[in-house]
Amino acid sequence: MKQKKLNEQFKILVVDDSLYTLEVVQRNLSIEGYQVFTASTAEEALNFLEANPIDLVITDFKMPKISGLDLIRHVRENLEDVEIMMITGYPSIDGAVDAVKKGAEEYLIKPFTDKELLTAVERIEEKMIRKRTYQSKKFRVESYGIIGESAEMQNVFKLIKKAASTKANVLISGESGTGKELVARAVHYASERRSAPFVPVNCTAIHDNLIESELFGHVKGAFTGARDSRAGFFQIANGGTLFFDEIGDASLNLQGKLLRVMEDKTIYMVGSSRAFTVDTRIIAATNKDLLSLVTKGFFREDLYYRLNVINILIPPLRERTNDILLLINYFLEKFPTELNRSVPRFSDDALRVLVKYHWQGNVRELENLIQRLVVIKDNDLIEVADLPVSMKFSVNRKMEINRTLAEVEAEHIRNVLVSVNGNKTKASEILGVDRKTLREKLKRIKPVNTPENG
Ligand SMILES: Nc1ncnc2c1ncn2[C@@H]1O[C@H](COP(=O)(O)OP(=O)(O)O)[C@@H](O)[C@H]1O
Ligand SMILES: [Mg+2]
């Protein structure tokens, strides 16, 4: 698939004994950015559901052995959070009403258009977003003042706990705005060092000719302008934690100095020959790939390994959809109180845009946006029109313009086949080609993935 999937978190399992339906549905929904899996029997679907978190099951009604209705019943009884859509050829005979009663959110009648399918899926998706937003209000998940319930953040919390129980150095990596500093503070305040200072140092802000004095301090008269003695970062953070932010931007000079202190734990103030022993824990953060800087010779390998004893990687916000909703709620509650405003609400469409947005600036970008919206909107409903233009554009998932003729042709063939229930004779009539040509074209079309191979 060529385009970026903006909505990898919404996972759909399609169950149908007709491979053509599977293929068409999978294709159409993948193009829209959904992550789509397929199963050709209800048994296969049940196995898949046991091992994989799925948001929506789209199932055929008539299938050999276990029917769609039984599948729906099973999902309803065992998997609370999974939504269901049923596909049926004959709504009245198949008992679609029954299916809806048993827990299917929607049903679609075959043959259906791409648009009908997408509209139905989007309706369910919206409902789900609403439900989750509501639920997340009830169960805000927070650790160390860090909001997040995604598996990725649970892992981060685990690592924070582990790091807090040791003195080992920590390297935190992640894009800008993912909460690296927040995590560094969490490690410090969860550790035994919490009553000693946490001292953040931005490596880009240290002048190369002041490195020694900034890090180790200086005594009175050490250099022109040194009118008083001044402690350096290592002394201030003694017993506590020094947080070197943007470590990837540290000059080789600074890197060398850091490495030396980490090795022998002693410092000399500029202008003094008296050695101070320091006990400072080092946490560093970077949004760069340090290893590639090592390869290029911009970062010392020995320092890299010294720092990277415990590695905490914070994934970007766009990979943790559930956290987006949690954070929106968190900031919605936080800012109105701070700004003396009342809490605005989001329309479902606006929420959908936010969940699908790429969040280049991660949590910081989200935080700033909510703050701005709270100021502008006060008590009102926030709608798509209120969101920044760039956000609305980036959510346009269609990208039809990127598709090749072969892709469009393949899709059309699949659609026609579905509409005639896989009858190749009828399909070739509609398509205006003979059966042989159709067979050959079908051979070239990529087969669908099944839970086993996809
Ligand atoms: N999981 C989170 N929960 C709550 N606030 C967060 C979270 N992640 C980031 N923030 C907030 O987003 C902003 C950016 O976080 P910060 O730690 O400075 O990011 P980084 O250092 O990675 O650029 C801060 O205001 C921070 O409080
Ligand atoms: Mg930062």
Q: Please tell me which of 92-96, 250-254, 439-443 the model is most confident about, judged by mean pLDDT.
A: 250-254
Same domain, 361 and 380: yes
Which residues place a Cβ less than 5 A from the ion ligand 2? 181
- In a domain, residue 45? The reply is yes
**Which residues' Cβ are closer than 6 Å to ligand 1?**
146-148, 174, 176-182, 363-364, 367
Residue with CA closest to ligand 1 atom 17: 179
CA angle 402, 404, 408 (to 5 degrees): 105
Q: What are phi and psi of 30, to 5 degrees?
A: -65, -40
CA of 146 to the centre of ligand 1 (A): 8
- In a domain, residue 414? The reply is yes
Same domain, 226 and 260: yes
Q: Is the pLDDT of residue 212 over 60?
A: yes
Which pLDDT does position 401 carry in this prediction?
A: 54
What is the mean pLDDT of the segment spanning 153-177?
Answer: 95
Which tens digit of pLDDT belongs to each residue from 25-35? 999 998 888 88
**Mean pLDDT lowest among 224-228, 256-260, 296-300:** 224-228
d(CA 356, CA 9): 9
Return the CA Rg of the chain: 29
Confidence of residue 226 (pLDDT cuts 50, 70, 90): confident
Closest CA to 186 of 137, 142, 238: 142
- In a domain, residue 65? The reply is yes
Which CATH number covers residue 267? Answer: 3.40.50.300
Exposure string of 407-444, with b = 16+ CB inside 10 Å and e = fewer, is beebbebbbbbbbbeeeeeebbeebeeeeeebeebbee
> Structure tokens of 92?
């009245």
Atom of ligand 1 nearest to the CA of 172: 22
- In a domain, residue 169? The reply is yes
89 or 432: which leads in pLDDT: 432
DSSP 124-181: HHHHHHHHHHHHHHHT--EETTEE--SHHHHHHHHHHHHHHTS---EEEE-STTSSHH
3-state secondary structure of 202: strand
Q: List the domain range (segments joined by +) for residue 335.
A: 317-394
Q: State which amino acid sits at residue 204.
A: T
Confidence of residue 248 (pLDDT cuts 50, 70, 90): very high
Q: Is the pLDDT of residue 138 over 80?
A: no
Same domain, 302 and 160: yes
- Non-local (6+) Cβ contacts of 358 within 8 A are 4, 6, 318, 394
Same domain, 374 and 283: no
Same domain, 171 and 309: yes
- In a domain, residue 6? The reply is no
Which CATH number covers residue 357? Answer: 1.10.8.60
Residue 373 CB-density burial (10 A; 0-12 exposed, 13-18 middle, 19+ buried) = buried
Same domain, 95 and 171: no
Residue with CA closest to ligand 1 atom 12: 364
Domain boundary among 291, 313, 335: 313
CA of 372 to the centre of ligand 2 (A): 21
Same domain, 79 and 67: yes
Same domain, 163 and 264: yes
Q: Could you tell me the maximum CA-CA distance found in the chain, to the nearest angstrom?
A: 96
**What mean pLDDT, rounded, does the chain reach?**
85
144: left (phi over 0), alpha (psi -120 to 50) or beta: left
CA distances from 138 to 204, 321, 380 (A): 41, 17, 22
d(CA 378, CA 47): 48
- The pTM of the full predicted model, rounded to 2 decimals, is 0.64
- In a domain, residue 141? The reply is no
Which tens digit of pLDDT belongs to each residue from 415-430? 677 666 678 888 898 8
Same domain, 298 and 390: no
Confidence of residue 398 (pLDDT cuts 50, 70, 90): very low
Q: Is the pLDDT of residue 181 over 70?
A: yes
What is the mean pLDDT of the segment spanning 96-122?
Answer: 81
Q: Is the pLDDT of residue 453 over 60?
A: no
Atom of ligand 1 nearest to the CA of 287: 22
Q: Is the pLDDT of residue 267 over 80?
A: yes
Q: Is the pLDDT of residue 370 over 90?
A: yes
Q: Is the pLDDT of residue 394 over 70?
A: no
Give the rounded percent of residues in the chain with a pLDDT score beyond 70: 86
Which tens digit of pLDDT belongs to each residue from 231-247? 999 999 999 999 999 99
What is the mean pLDDT of the segment spanning 54-63?
Answer: 90
What is the mean pLDDT of the segment spanning 64-78?
Answer: 86
Residue with CA closest to ligand 1 atom 9: 179
Number of domains in the chain: 3
Same domain, 170 and 291: yes
- In a domain, residue 143? The reply is no
Which pLDDT does position 446 carry in this prediction?
A: 57
d(CA 240, CA 89): 68
**What are the strands of the beta sheet with 310-313, ordered from one edge?**
198-202, 241-245, 281-286, 170-173, 310-313
Q: At what angle do helices 362-377 and 321-339 cross, to 10 degrees?
A: 40
Which pLDDT does position 399 carry in this prediction?
A: 42
Which tens digit of pLDDT belongs to each residue from 324-343? 988 998 888 888 877 878 88
Which tens digit of pLDDT belongs to each residue from 303-325? 999 999 999 999 999 889 889 98
Q: State which amino acid sits at residue 403.
A: R
Same domain, 256 and 304: yes
> Structure tokens of 387?
């969101």
Q: Contact 424/438 with Cβ under 8 angstroms? A: yes
Same domain, 322 and 334: yes
Q: Is the peptide bond before 53 cis (omega within 30 degrees of 0)?
A: no
